[in-house]
A and B are shown apart, each in its own frame.
Chain A
Amino acid sequence: MSNDLNMDNIETPEPHSSIIDNNENNNSNNNNLIDNNNNNNENNTNIINNESVTLEKKEIDIPVNNNNNNTNNNNIENEKNLVNEFEDSTQSDYSDEYDTVIPPVPVRYLNNNNNNVVININKIDKNKSDLLSEDRSDFQDSVDEELTIPEIQDYSDMVVSILIPVTITMIILVATIRAINNKASWVSLTPLVTYEVDKDSSSENMVFSSIINSLIFLGIIILSTVIMVVLYRFRFMKALYGWMMGTSILLLGVFGGFLFIVVMSYLNLSLDYISFLFILWNFVFGGVICIFWYAPKYLNQTYLISVSVLMALSFSRLPEWTTWAILAIVSIYDIFAVLCPAGPLQLLIKTAKKRGEAIPAMIYNASVTIGMAEYQKEESSPSPPPPLPKNLVKDTDAPHLKDTFFNESPTVFEKNIDDKHSEISDDFSAVKAPKGGKLRLGLGDFVFYGVLISRAAFYEMATVFTCYVAIITGLFLTLFLLTVLKRALPALPMSIGLGILFYFLTYRFLIPFITFLGEAQVFI
């Protein structure tokens, strides 16, 4: 982060940093810096501690329209008149580096009283030029829309809005797996696994076949991702959406129907074919409408969660060591796919940004508002209600991540300003930089979190809890990095890495320890 967030330096104009202070319209000085710090001291005493302060000061890249510094100064002076409604922020360096002229971005502050937001316009490295150029398109598209700057409350809302669906997914998975003791019904494997791994087999054989299995798995993920990127790049949109719809229908229908029968057997309830077909037909068709078309937001999110639950359930039936190998390899691949310039997900996101379209992928959109709220907002109050929670990736114009059937691996979080609904992205979800928008998490992330937690659930509840904490910790770390780096990030590596680590630590140390304590009748 180029800019200093420290409070002390507020007044001093830094060459590269422009900070805009909402609270005091003292901007008459020529500095681009606007200070929110004073307000922070006043407003946030108990609530905001050091961590929150860092969050508050998350810098937001705002593409600035002004060509000259002079315009900036003028604009700043004008702010007094505009009184918080619009600010044109400009960066002096920006115009020099980029020839492109960007139309002024109207910035509306969510809350005039809270001055928590520091806008850093200057911090653009040449390295990030690519990102900037990408961002511009978003901004240009969204110029007519309100550009809301996330505050600390919004950010915590975003974090919670991601935490809730992930937790729900995990709870459903753990409950299902713990409840169904009849492992026999789970034995059927996916066709992806060629090597059967028995517990009897030698360790050498086990390692070999696990790696082979996971590589096959990875190959299918890569293949489907590449196909999706190619389809999107050459605008075979009907094929793309048809593919995603087909996979959604198959997933909901086949695995949903399977799970339905299993649950009914578990509950020892009778079920006839007519009811079964009727319920499944409604579930699947309603799911397609909710995921792809106009539907209430909570239903959209519900279906996305159920898609990831079904997917994770089907994967959780893989042999144990194959599961671990898949998780590790997919996490590593996620880093590549999201961060590498030529990575498929990176290409997908870039392309989507260039076109100003949503990412064609299944993405959980975590915004704080409810779908309809947009419509009402426009009419009613200028003070915007919290942004709609959508997929985990925040999107405005931002891309959506897809999950296709096999593509679900990597995760990307994205934050965008706007969001319409969750979208199905191919493979991965990426977390994207916050522009005050929404946080979006690819369904692939949900699936692999779920696979890890369900694998833990096969062993003990103790491992479930430790893995849950580890995954959530990794997720929050990723979110934190997201605010710092402001670009799409892979959501899998840290969470899955910590999860695997904690599983084996619990398996090896904690459970024997607890067992010993129990046997020795020692109470801590």
Chain B
Amino acid sequence: MLVPEDDRLDEEKMLSVAKKLWIVGFFFLPWVWLINVLFFLPYRKTINEKIKWYLKFSLIGFFVYTSIFMAWMGIFLVNRNSWGERGDYLSVVIPFD
């Protein structure tokens, strides 16, 4: 909605979009980085190297954040019982065993 109706993406605008989404992604937002990549996927043959740089590091950042998150989830799920009270304290949903 904040995008004007007759919006046409030129190189400059694409660069600024990629850059803004890339910056935003640092706030623990790998999903935004993925959106950044997905958004430019159809343009991949026309975009220039600068934009590609942001997209590349968006993708890398996405995988880094995601792997960290996945590692945490794995650790939590494996160790929740052994952590005892602290594990319950961290839990939103405690499954019935």
A contact set with B: CB distance below 8 Å: 141, 145, 241, 244, 261, 264-265, 268-276, 278, 281-283, 285-286, 289-296, 299, 356-358, 360, 370-373, 375-376, 379, 395-397, 400, 418, 420-421, 423-424
Contacts and interface: CB of A to CB of B under 8 A. Distances in A.
Contacts of B28: 278, 281-282
A273 B80 CA distance: 12
A290 B3 CA distance: 11
26 contacts: A264-B92, A268-B96, A272-B76, A272-B80, A272-B90, A272-B91, A274-B76, A281-B29, A282-B32, A285-B24, A285-B29, A285-B31, A286-B29, A289-B32, A291-B1, A294-B17, A295-B38, A296-B35, A360-B1, A371-B42, A372-B41, A372-B43, A375-B9, A375-B46, A376-B42, A397-B5
Given A261-B92, A358-B1, A375-B9, A282 B39 contact: no
A273 B5 contact: no
B57 interface: no
Given A271-B93, A272-B76, A296-B35, A357 B2 contact: no
B55 to A, nearest CB: 13
B5 A292 contact: no
Contacts of B92: 261, 264, 271-273, 276
Listed residue (A145, A265, A271, A292) with the most chain B CB atoms within 10 angstroms of its CB: A271
A275 B69 contact: yes
Contacts of A291: 1
Interface string B9-42: 1000000010001001001111110010011011
Contacts of B90: 272-274
Nearest to A370: B42
Interface in B72-97: 72-73, 76-77, 80, 90-96
Contacts of A292: 1-2
Listed residue (A141, A145, A286) with the most chain B CB atoms within 10 angstroms of its CB: A286
B49 interface: no
A440 to B, nearest CB: 13
B6 A269 contact: no
A286 B32 CA distance: 6
Nearest to A287: B31
Contacts, number: 116
Interface of B: 1-7, 9, 17, 21, 24, 27-32, 35, 38-39, 41-43, 46, 69, 72-73, 76-77, 80, 90-96
A39 to B, nearest CB: 33
B38 A296 contact: yes
Contact of B5 (A241, A358, A379): A358
A204 B2 CA distance: 49
A286 B27 CA distance: 12
B83 to A, nearest CB: 10
Contacts of B73: 272, 275
Contact of B76 (A275, A293, A360): A275
B42 A372 contact: yes
Nearest to B9: A375
A299 B39 CA distance: 9
A299 B35 contact: yes
Q: Which 9 A/B pairs are nearest by Cβ-Cβ distance?
A: A372-B42, A282-B31, A271-B93, A286-B31, A423-B1, A272-B90, A268-B95, A271-B92, A264-B93
